[in-house]
Chains A and B, each alone.
Chain A
């Protein structure tokens, strides 16, 4: 579980891609996302995915992003199956499944290379209400904590004779109760305590608190942004005009 869901978790790094302004990274990911949507053929999506994985490799985040593919392959199969069941059209079913992979991979690239702090800055530039920004960023930041909790709870319950690997589906689902209850309870208690601790540290005392880090796009960031837009235009052009319509 931990292994699979870590595909969306930030991992600090010093690569060129990590250091790009988070707003530019968001732009890049959105453009790749859009590419995956507008692609009309599976091989075009394959090109997009390969490109995203290439960027991920350059950012030394290939393994994390790769995990996302593994994680979502299950859903992809489901999407393919449902589509094929309904439309009986092999090509469009594969296309939808592949498109899903493309969307997930480009999103994952953004989250894996953007720290919660950067995320906060990005959201602030969109002038979202501070409470919403805070809630979202805190939720993201606490995902690893939650996973650690889940592991420790499972350890504790296994030590009390809870079998999690054996039995039929119903039994396994039932065996999640002793894990989920403490997980939810500790999370709720923690969020209450966090709120109290933050208010006693003056959260919300002034409407617009100052910020330690001020993001200012450097020249390199602007270059990347322009390059990304150009590449996007080129890709869109190739998809619709240059590349041949190759079906399955």
Chain B
């Protein structure tokens, strides 16, 4: 679905934000991109929608090079929710904000109506339907931007730091939404520092450092490599550390606290 072939990118300021990235994400995969601030994660994301074009190498989305098409066209397939919600909200109402992209893509008004209602419900925003998006709280704005993206049902969903400013309940709901999207066959890219949020989703994990991909594999594999995580300044999930500290332990780390609790109860008996 998404292919990076030896992609390098140098910002106009001379910063080399991507350095020979080769990465293949298949349709229906859920991939988490982790790495310290400035590792190049957002730059990577911008290459998928063609907002940035590689200085070297190629990026293919659904077999088409991003250089051969426009962002507006690509975004029909790839929905990106960027880090800062204040950078996109502009409409008079929450509803109109959600409808903006749908109308850009020429959806029928009846379909717009239906998709908007669905998105508002999914993200618990129905009560704000007629309010201005600018008066929402930080977390609500963030959820609205996610709803805006999911509303047009893109094949690929990219979330850049989606958990910033969200409380525990909303994070849990977001994780639930990601699982739901995975089950409907979407390709998902989640950029996040929030390891505890990512861990229960059990995605494929791509570790970035100084514009390079330095680790790539199943969550359990990557998160077990302490040296790799330390060098990329990524924290190890607490459940993985806990698992590592046990004298007798199951073969794979616990995915969520409930699983750990069950195992401990079993050991006691």
Chain A residues engaging chain B, CB cutoff 8 angstroms: 149, 152-153, 155-163, 165, 177-178, 181-182, 185-186, 189
B47 to chain A, nearest CB (A): 12
Which B residues between 29 and 47 are near A, CB-CB below 8 angstroms? 46
A133 to B207, CA, bound (A): 47
A159 near B100 with CB under 8 A, answer no
B46 near A155 with CB under 8 A, answer yes
A160 near B148 with CB under 8 A, answer yes
- B-side interface residues, number (CB < 8 Å): 26
A168 to B65, CA, bound (A): 27
Residues of A contacting B89 with CB < 8 Å?
A: 182, 185
Closest to A156 in B: B88
Can you give 30 contacting A-B residue pairs, CB < 8 Å?
Answer: A149-B87, A152-B82, A153-B87, A153-B88, A155-B46, A155-B82, A155-B87, A156-B82, A156-B88, A159-B49, A159-B71, A159-B75, A159-B79, A160-B75, A160-B148, A160-B149, A161-B72, A161-B76, A161-B101, A161-B104, A161-B105, A162-B72, A163-B70, A165-B70, A177-B90, A178-B88, A182-B88, A185-B89, A186-B86, A189-B86
Given contacts A182-B90, A185-B134, A186-B87, contact A158 B82 (CB under 8 A): no
A9 to B134, CA, bound (A): 31
Q: Tell me if B1 is interfacial: C-beta within 8 Å of chain A.
A: no
B75 near A158 with CB under 8 A, answer yes
Chain B residues engaging chain A, CB cutoff 8 angstroms: 46, 49, 51, 70-72, 75-76, 78-80, 82, 84, 86-90, 100-101, 104-105, 134, 148-149, 152
Closest to A160 in B: B101
**Which of B82, B84, B86 touches A159 (beta carbons < 8 Å)?**
B82
Residues of A contacting B51 with CB < 8 Å?
A: 155, 158-159
Given contacts A158-B75, A185-B134, 18 further A-B contacts (CB under 8 A): A153-B87, A155-B46, A156-B80, A156-B82, A158-B49, A158-B71, A158-B72, A159-B51, A160-B148, A161-B72, A161-B75, A161-B76, A161-B101, A161-B104, A161-B152, A165-B70, A181-B90, A182-B86
Residues of B contacting A149 with CB < 8 Å?
A: 87
Given contacts A165-B70, A178-B100, contact A157 B86 (CB under 8 A): no
B104 near A185 with CB under 8 A, answer no
B106 to chain A, nearest CB (A): 9
Residues of B contacting A177 with CB < 8 Å?
A: 90
A163 near B86 with CB under 8 A, answer no
Chain B CB within 10 A, most for which of A149, A155, A165, A178: A155
A181 to B96, CA, bound (A): 14
